[in-house]
């Protein structure tokens, strides 16, 4: 191979950072290299990264394989011990061109492979500027990194460090660059995006940032948020939901569970009632909004009754896209030291919760039949409505914004017909 190939796992923030990595590596003159940007959120994510590394070595026997990302930050010795790996970079190092210069030669010891600093010592997130997000119709912008909270199941703060925000001016500049590159939709992303601004002068909020972006970059056609904590939503965010048509009517919520005792044991900051109240308030402001949510099944000490409360919460909140994670103990987290459930039971509860999610998704699809939608066409024959529902859009050109009428669904996606004349009426 020639050039730099990037393999990305995990979140939208990783997707954005992979573009920064590619640019910095090429600036450093790196060639014939595979960069693997890992995720540490579950043990399965780490397993998949190791599998991808072995496959990359088989496919590219003479390339340099450089492993980075959250799993490399939290499990550097695991990856350094792999014979397929030539270097391990931390989450701070991966974004600097200097890290890709003078890499160790093939055959060095595991200790020499590692360039991973203490992520907790990082106090700022340097602004980055990318022109495009490879393979994506929607563009992601990093607004924040790290997390100050310590949920008992989560290893990510130890991979990302404490919360730090990107200055607002740098985000505006990045948005202008991406709009000039032809992107119709911008997605603001971070590890704990709703904590944005707490470390900046004046402490601007995520909602104020979004308001400022739409004012300063009027050519943004669609602005969307990635995962948020509803408990941290501010008045500016509610203003956008109620009054700004360019702010997309979809929110992905970090709910995690539906039982108050489990939420307390997870060290979450919201209660079940908080989640229900937030969803109902937002839906009153924007009836067409849809919600996605993350939930964990099989958390330590969870009973059958507690598990059922997660399913009932998803139904009460009307979650259209439920992302279910079977609990995975992460070494070094408090939850890993709690009494664990049998793995078969964890998987069974996750399967039941996914079944609940499928029924809710089908109800959401059915509710949109006959509606008029503006869809953004992706590069895979699908498209997204403004409320982030997938549409079968085979034959339409990627990046196009197309008015359609929803005719029904196929069990997974909406079906549609284009009818611009009707939509103008």
Low-confidence winner among 36-45, 52-61, 109-118 (lowest mean pLDDT): 109-118
169 contacts: CB under 8 Å, gap ≥ 6: none
Identify the domain boundary among 214, 248, 282.
Answer: 248
Picking from 116, 115, 125, the residue whose alpha carbon sits closest to that of residue 158 is 116
> Looking up tokens 């014979």, which residue turns up?
83
Number of domains in the chain: 4
- Same structural domain for residues 309 and 321? yes
Q: Give dist(CA 65, CA 85) in Å, integer.
A: 5
Stated pTM of the model? 0.89
Whether 423 maps to a domain, the answer reads no
- Same structural domain for residues 204 and 298? no
- Same structural domain for residues 290 and 325? yes
Mean pLDDT of 109-113: 70
Token pair for residue 228?
A: 């948020």
Residues 359, 363, 364, 368: is their CA dihedral positive or negative? positive
- Same structural domain for residues 165 and 206? yes
Whether 425 maps to a domain, the answer reads no
Cβ–Cβ contacts within 10 Å for residue 414, how many?
A: 26
Residue 70: give its domain's CATH number: 3.40.50.12160
Task: Give per-residue pLDDT as tens, 144-180.
Answer: 999 999 999 999 999 999 999 999 999 999 999 999 9
- Same structural domain for residues 139 and 229? yes
Residue 282 DSSP SS3: helix
Picking from 171, 179, 164, 253, the residue whose alpha carbon sits closest to that of residue 211 is 171
- Same structural domain for residues 239 and 263? no
- Same structural domain for residues 136 and 94? no
Q: Give dist(CA 193, CA 191) in Å, integer.
A: 6
- Same structural domain for residues 279 and 379? no
Identify the domain boundary among 90, 118, 146.
Answer: 118
Q: Give dist(CA 388, CA 50) in Å, integer.
A: 32
- Same structural domain for residues 257 and 197? no
Identify the domain boundary among 87, 118, 149.
Answer: 118
Q: Give dist(CA 228, CA 72) in Å, integer.
A: 25
Whether 188 maps to a domain, the answer reads yes
Task: Give per-residue pLDDT as tens, 282-326.
Answer: 999 999 999 999 999 999 999 999 999 999 999 999 999 999 999
298 touches 329 (CB < 8 A): no
Quick one: DSSP state of residue 214? H
Domain of 284, in residue numbers: 253-368
pLDDT value at 62 more than 70:
yes
Whether 163 maps to a domain, the answer reads yes
Task: Give per-residue pLDDT as tens, 174-215.
Answer: 999 999 999 999 999 999 999 999 999 999 999 999 999 999
> Looking up tokens 């925000």, which residue turns up?
165
313 touches 266 (CB < 8 A): no
Return mean pLDDT, the chain.
Answer: 92
- Same structural domain for residues 158 and 73? no
Whether 424 maps to a domain, the answer reads no
- Same structural domain for residues 147 and 112? no
Burial 39-50 (b: 16+ CB within 10 A, else e): bbbbeebbebbb
Cα three-residue angle 385-386-392, rounded to 5 degrees: 5
Residue 190: give its domain's CATH number: 3.30.750.210
Q: Give dist(CA 299, CA 42) in Å, integer.
A: 13
Picking from 20, 3, 166, 160, the residue whose alpha carbon sits closest to that of residue 90 is 160
């Amino acid at each position: 191979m020639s050039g730099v190939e990037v393999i990305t796992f995990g979140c939208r923030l990783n997707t954005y950072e992979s573009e920064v990595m590619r640019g910095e590596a090429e600036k450093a003159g790196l060639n014939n290299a595979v960069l693997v940007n890992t995720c540490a959120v579950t043990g399965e994510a780490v397993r998949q990264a190791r599998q991808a590394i072995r496959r990359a070595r088989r496919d590219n026997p003479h390339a340099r394989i450089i492993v980075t990302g959250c799993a490399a930050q939290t499990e550097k010795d695991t990856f350094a011990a792999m014979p397929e790996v030539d270097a391990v970079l931390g989450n701070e190092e991966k974004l600097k061109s200097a890290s890709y210069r003078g890499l160790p030669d093939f055959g060095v010891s595991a200790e020499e492979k590692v360039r991973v600093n203490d992520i907790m010592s990082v106090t700022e997130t340097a602004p980055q500027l990318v022109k495009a997000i490879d393979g994506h119709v929607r563009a992601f912008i990093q607004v924040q990194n790290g997390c100050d909270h310590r949920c008992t199941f989560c290893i990510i703060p130890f991979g990302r460090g404490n919360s730090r925000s990107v200055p607002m001016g740098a985000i505006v500049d990045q948005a202008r660059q991406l709009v000039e590159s032809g992107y119709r939709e911008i997605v603001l992303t971070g590890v704990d995006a709703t904590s944005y601004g707490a470390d900046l002068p004046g402490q601007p909020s995520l909602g104020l940032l979004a308001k400022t972006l739409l004012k300063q970059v009027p050519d943004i056609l669609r602005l969307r948020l990635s995962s948020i904590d509803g408990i941290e939503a501010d008045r500016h965010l509610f203003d956008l939901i109620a009054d700004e048509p360019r702010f997309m009517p979809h929110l992905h919520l970090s709910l995690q569970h539906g039982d108050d005792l489990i939420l307390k044991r997870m060290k979450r900051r919201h209660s079940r009632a908080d989640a229900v109240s937030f969803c109902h308030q937002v839906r009153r402001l924007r009836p067409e909004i849809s919600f996605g949510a993350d939930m964990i099944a099989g958390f330590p000490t969870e009973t059958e009754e507690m598990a059922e409360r997660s399913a009932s919460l998803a139904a009460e909140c009307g979650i259209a896209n439920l992302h279910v994670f079977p609990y995975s103990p992460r070494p070094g987290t408090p939850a890993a030291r709690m009494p664990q459930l049998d793995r078969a039971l964890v998987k069974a509860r996750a399967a039941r919760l996914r079944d609940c999610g499928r029924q809710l998704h089908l109800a959401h699809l059915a509710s949109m039949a006959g509606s008029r939608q503006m869809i953004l066409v992706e590069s895979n024959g699908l498209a997204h409505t403004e409320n982030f529902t997938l549409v079968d859009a085979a034959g339409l050109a990627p990046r196009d914004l197309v008015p359609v009428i929803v005719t029904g669904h196929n069990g997974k996606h909406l079906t549609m017909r284009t009818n611009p004349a009707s939509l103008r009426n």
